[in-house]
Amino acid sequence: MKVFISSVRRGLEDERDALPGLIQASGHVPKRFEDYTALPVPSRQACLDGVEDCDVYLLLLGEFYGDPLPDTGKAPTEEEFVVARRRNIPILVFRKSGVVPEKVQEEFIERVEAYATGRFRASFEKTEGLLVAVVAALRALDAQSSPLVWSSAIGLPRVQWIFEPDRSRGFLSSSGTTLEMHLLQYGPSDRLTLRSLEAMVRSVATLGRDLDHFTVGDALDTGVVDDKLVVQVAGSGSYGDRGIRISRDRHVAAWETLPRDNLGVIIDPRDVEARLVRLVTLASQTNIHQGQVALAASLGPLDFTVEGVASDFGRRSSTTLRMSGQAAARAEPQDLVTGDALSRGAPEIASEITARLMQAYRAEPN
């Protein structure tokens, strides 16, 4: 595995110098900023490309944050962290104890630790302790079995759909077809408290922006209403064009409205699958699931849609559109996967759910 080492150098000099040899001795390939300083591209871009190319992201958190870059306001280490999150690769987080982080670093640590709950995370005081912890984390990654195993179950939870044909006509029929992905907690689990949902609002909004579900310019509506946390693009109606919803029973929904031209919406299976990969990744990185998770998805409404190729957008002069009112194509919950498998299994989950959605779409009468 290629392991990217990410941190500022100041205050972590010994640790950064010791890690490459250890990682190499463990049978992996270390990568870090120092390896990119002689390349014919800016070191910033080289490092981000290094994170794009790595298999594991190893983050060291110490006293200092680093110098924010003028265009993003983020230090290089946080930019690298955002790329690793977007790629949904394993992230190993190690925080140095016995130091007092500067304020901006403490804020970064809070963002990281909100994400890192339930993931590989450890503290260290000296370099020797860090090396032991890193070896243990890499061995745990090596020992992981197949990331995704499908299983069936009875008594699956009911889905609280974003789009309901009998009561959502007002906002979705005018805005287009919405693709929604749901991850539902299966079996006994601790219910989230309202206070914990309220505390998650900011981190969920940040997660959405980091994974490009929301853009920097998007105005967001956020809050906890009717026992549900909702972060969404501001707009008319009950829900915006894109958003994330988390309920107290650990049901996570992520959705987005599909693009349309003046002839309606093109349902392209490859486009739907790519979008579902992002939605599964987004929902899974809330990291609130315990044990097994049921999967469900929906496309609706289906009026003014046609199956085709997304590259035809803007080039069509005519088409035959489906006129099915407010019907929806749905993949109801049938299968279970483990919560730990969601991250790595996102492509396989998206492929299976897309096949089920398209089967339902083609069966829906015009």
CA distances to 131, 177, 261, 325 from 258, rounded to whole Å, are 47, 6, 10, 17
- 289 and 349 share one domain: yes
From 75, 109, 143, the end of a domain falls on 143
- 114 and 177 share one domain: no
Closest by alpha carbon to 90, among 183, 171, 3? Answer: 3
The predicted model scores a pTM of 0.76
CA distances to 57, 244, 296, 305, 324 from 114, rounded to whole Å, are 17, 16, 26, 39, 43
From 143, 168, 191, the end of a domain falls on 143
User: Would you state the pLDDT for residue 171?
Assistant: 38
- 86 and 108 share one domain: yes
- 228 and 356 share one domain: yes
**Spatial distance between the Cα atoms of 83 and 302, rounded to a whole number of angstroms:** 34
- 197 and 103 share one domain: no
User: Would you state the pLDDT for residue 290?
Assistant: 76
- 347 and 268 share one domain: yes
SS3 percent helix, strand, coil of the chain, rounded to 5, is: 40, 25, 40
From 116, 143, 170, the end of a domain falls on 143
- 156 and 76 share one domain: no
User: Would you state the pLDDT for residue 118?
Assistant: 47
**Spatial distance between the Cα atoms of 74 and 120, rounded to a whole number of angstroms:** 23
- 84 and 220 share one domain: no
Q: What is the CATH number for 40?
A: 3.40.50.450
User: Would you state the pLDDT for residue 331?
Assistant: 94
- 236 and 288 share one domain: yes
User: Would you state the pLDDT for residue 174?
Assistant: 44
User: Would you state the pLDDT for residue 319?
Assistant: 60
Please give the tally of structural domains in the chain.
2
User: Would you state the pLDDT for residue 46?
Assistant: 82
Domain ranges, residue 309: 151-363
- 139 and 156 share one domain: no
Successive 10-residue mean pLDDT values, the chain, 366 residues: 92 93 89 70 78 92 93 91 87 93 93 68 90 89 70 85 63 67 89 91 90 89 91 75 93 91 83 94 86 92 82 65 70 88 85 95 76
- 27 and 64 share one domain: yes
- 156 and 44 share one domain: no
Is residue 347 within 8 Å of residue 277, measured between CB atoms? yes
φ and ψ of 252, to 5 deg:
-110, 130
Closest by alpha carbon to 341, among 270, 289, 272? Answer: 289
